[in-house]
Amino acid sequence: MRRLLALARPSGGRLLLAVLFGVLALGSGVGLMATSAWLISRAAQHPPVLTLMVAIVAVRAFGIGRGVFRYAERLTGHDATFRILADLRARVYERLVPRSGLHGGDLLARLVADVDAVQDLYLRALLPGAVAAVVGGASVGLAWALLPSAGVVLLAALLVAGVLAPWLSAVLARRSERRGTELRGEMTTHVVDSLQGAPELVVYGAAPARLAEAARLDQAYTRTAARSATTAGAGAALSTLAGGLAVWGGLAVGVPAVRSGRLDGVLLAVVVLLPLATFEVVAGLPLAAQYLERVRRSASRVFAVLDRDEPVREPLAPAALPSAPYVLRVRDLRARWTPDGPYALDGVSLDLRPGRRCAVVGASGSGKTTLATVLLRLLEPAGGMVSLNGVDVRSLSGDDVRRVVGSCGQDAHLFDTTIGANLRLARPSATEEEIHDALRRARLLSWVSALPEGLDTRVGEHGARVSGGQRQRIALARTLLADFPILLLDEPTEHLDVATADELTADLLSATEGRTTLLVTHRLTGLEAVDEIIVLSRGRVADRGTHAELLARLGPYRSMWELERRYDPLRVSD
């Protein structure tokens, strides 16, 4: 809670303004009730109408003021809250974006909901609480001035409705809120997961069981929500009861006071009706206490994300980016995904001089993607060094590094728009000429030209309307268009069948000729074309050399090569 309050500091002025407008709005409500009560009683005595003029004007002013001030309070309160939320969202996304490998709509959807829930602290708990304290205090003061015992009655009733009822609500809410938050999270995860896996569920006939599980979660959530609503209802009931008792209490102390002459009869209506207006002030507080509990849970999850170790430490004062041509040098690089986990990379060295092409091969899990991730500055090295033209990349800003080192990953994302728009993402200013050139080098030009809508063909969600090979080629064309000085290709042929994969490898090797390239792959076909091949095994360099050199040795590369040939459906085995 303290941290949430600290977040609000930059918008503190606006929040105070909202409290002020809230006080004026509810104060007008109380004023309206008090003056009209006096006006009705006094008018019953048929005094000269002029003596009522001030009260009549005041009733009008309070009536209009209540609406106007309420509007101003909503406006400033929401404005302040949305500013705080915008700031919080930016921080959360900053933390999430560098996390490659952050999967699933589940976590994201939950975080979005959690950040949104935080707004209730400011709008539904802090603001009403502050306003209630000020207006409630002033009302008690007013009642006290008219008749001290009426002040005491009002104070007691306000304490019951404004402190005791919310406290009870909070205590009762704690359990159901915890369960509710958990269930809400589970349900989101379940629904997102089921929708994404719908084809598999249908194929395996697992949909009914999955739906039944969803129904079970929904029932449990409904029960919790009902319990939570009961709590809110009980709080509201207690608060209303206290309000009603305050009115009766006002009568009980007011009538004897009028009889004994301590209170002007005309003011009796004020003493009795004042509590009615004042209770509008505290009526929302039990609910506010319940929101407070919800906010506490959401905030703890949001801060858990914010407090995670940064995957990459950005330098406070980044060094200037050296100018082209670029030499990328990796020395004894070690890296791991968790602070005390095993090393996914353990002592890897390589040099990428301008125009040179290197391939990194190795079994699944040998650390190829980890290497690419470190080179893209999305994962901090745990040892050794990566340098660009002799400058340690740790002293450069990550965005600068990624301006030089660009990648086309194994799951390159296509946006649900046209082929042209997906390409222009890499370079919005690209001319028709340049786009055609990139398409030609990715061997897509004849296909795209033959499409009835050409570049304006839509690719569908995640590229669903094009084939896997076309999807990867579009991603490759996009990477080529971006024209990074150093190109990182991480298994661009990953999800393709062998024939298509080898074809694409051949095409991309010819497309990258003369460009500094690091090609990560598990297929060896076509690697005659690269200058050096590094064989990774469990994060270590098991062997290195050209295709011919490696084949000549009885090493891991040779076994991989023989395996690939033996099980290759395209080759006749010998």
Ligand X SMILES: Nc1ncnc2c1ncn2[C@@H]1O[C@H](COP(=O)(O)OP(=O)(O)O)[C@@H](O)[C@H]1O
Q: Which of 279, 281, 271, 278 is nearest to 248 (CA)?
A: 271
Assign 3-class secondary structure to 37-64.
HHHHHHHCCCCCHHHHHHHHHHHHHHHH
Q: Which of 169, 298, 369, 505 touches ligand X (CB under 6 A)?
A: 369
Stretch that binds Mg ion, among 98-106, 142-150, 368-376, 504-512 (CB under 5 A): 368-376
Quote the least distance from Cβ 501 to ligand X, whole Å: 16
Structure tokens given for 256: 């004897």
Question: Taking CB within 5 to 8 Å according to partner kind, which of ligand X, Mg ion, none is near residue 517?
Answer: none
365 binds ligand X (CB under 6 A): yes
Among 144, 221, 337, 447, binds ligand X (CB under 6 A): 337
Residue 367's binding partner among ligand X, Mg ion, none (Cβ under 5 to 8 angstroms by kind) is ligand X
| Closer to ligand X by Cβ: residue 137 or 365 | 365
521 three-state secondary structure: strand
Smaller CB separation from Mg ion, 77 or 409:
409
d(CA 347, CA 353): 20
369, 407, 505, 521: residue in contact with Mg ion (rule CB under 5 A): 369
Q: Is 25 in the site for ligand X (CB under 6 A)?
A: no
Q: Check the CA dihedral 272-275-276-278 and report its sign.
A: positive
Helix ranges restricted to H, 348-467 = 368-375, 398-404, 419-424, 432-441, 445-450
Q: Which of 505, 555, 553 is nearest to 530 (CA)?
A: 505
Stretch that binds ligand X, among 34-42, 104-112, 363-371, 452-460 (CB under 6 A): 363-371
CB of 366 to Mg ion, least distance (A): 9
Residue 313 is given by DSSP the state P
Number of residues near Mg ion (by CB under 5 A): 2
| Other beta carbons less than 10 A from residue 531's beta carbon | 13
Of 35, 366, 472, 516, the one binding ligand X (CB under 6 A) is 366
Which residue matches tokens 């490659």? 100
What mask, x for binding ligand X by CB under 6 A, covers residues 61 to 100? ----------------------------------------
Does 367 bind ligand X (CB under 6 A)? Our answer is yes
Least distance from C-beta 351 to Mg ion, angstroms?
22
Contacts 24+ apart (CB under 8 A), 255-264: 257/147, 257/149, 257/150, 262/147, 263/146, 263/147
Backbone angles phi, psi at 191, to 5 degrees: -65, -50
Nearer to ligand X, 78 or 538 (CB): 538
389-408 positions binding ligand X, by CB under 6 A = none
C-alpha distances in Å from residue 551, one per residue of 541, 544, 558, 567, 569:
16, 11, 5, 18, 21
Neighbours of 570 (CB within 10 A): 10
Contact range with Mg ion by CB under 5 A, out of 102-110, 331-339, 366-374, 501-509: 366-374
Residue 493 binding Mg ion, by CB under 5 A: no
Min dist. Cβ of residue 490 to ligand X (A): 7
Among residues 74, 95, 93, which one has the least CA distance to residue 85?
A: 93
Residue number closest to Mg ion, CB atom: 369
Whether 263 contacts 257, CB under 8 Å: yes
Which of 144-152, 272-280, 306-314, 365-373 is the region at the interface with ligand X (rule: CB under 6 A)?
Answer: 365-373
Strand partners, 388: 328, 391
CB nearer to ligand X: give 253 or 344.
Answer: 344
Count of residues that interact with ligand X, criterion CB under 6 A: 11
Residue whose CB is less far from Mg ion, 74 or 495: 495
Q: Which does 370 bind (CB under 5 to 8 A by kind): Mg ion, ligand X, none?
A: ligand X
Helix H or strand E segment including 544? strand 540-545
370 binds ligand X (CB under 6 A): yes
Other Cβ atoms within 10 Å of 229 Cβ, number: 12
Is residue 362 at the binding interface for ligand X, with CB under 6 A as the rule? yes
Q: Cβ 530 to Mg ion, closest distance in Å?
A: 18
Q: Tokens 């080179």 sit at which residue?
A: 375
Q: Which two tokens stand for residue 220?
A: 């449990």
Told to check if 101 binds ligand X by CB under 6 A, we report yes
Name which of 63 and 556 has its Cβ closer to ligand X.
556
- How many angstroms separate the Cα of 49 from the Cα of each of 39, 55, 56? 11, 11, 10
Candidate list 45, 260, 364, 431; residue touching ligand X; CB under 6 A: 364
The three-state secondary structure class of 48 is coil
- 447's contact among ligand X, Mg ion, none, with CB below 5 to 8 A by partner kind, is none
362 binds, among Mg ion, ligand X, none (CB under 5 to 8 A by kind): ligand X
Q: Within 13 Å of residue 511, how many CA atoms lie on the same side as its CB?
A: 25
Please list, in sequence order, all residues whose beta carbon lies within 8 angstroms of the beta carbon of residue 528, skipping any fewer than 6 positions away: 547, 548
- Residues binding Mg ion (CB under 5 A): 368-369
- Residues binding ligand X (CB under 6 A): 101, 337, 344, 362, 364-370
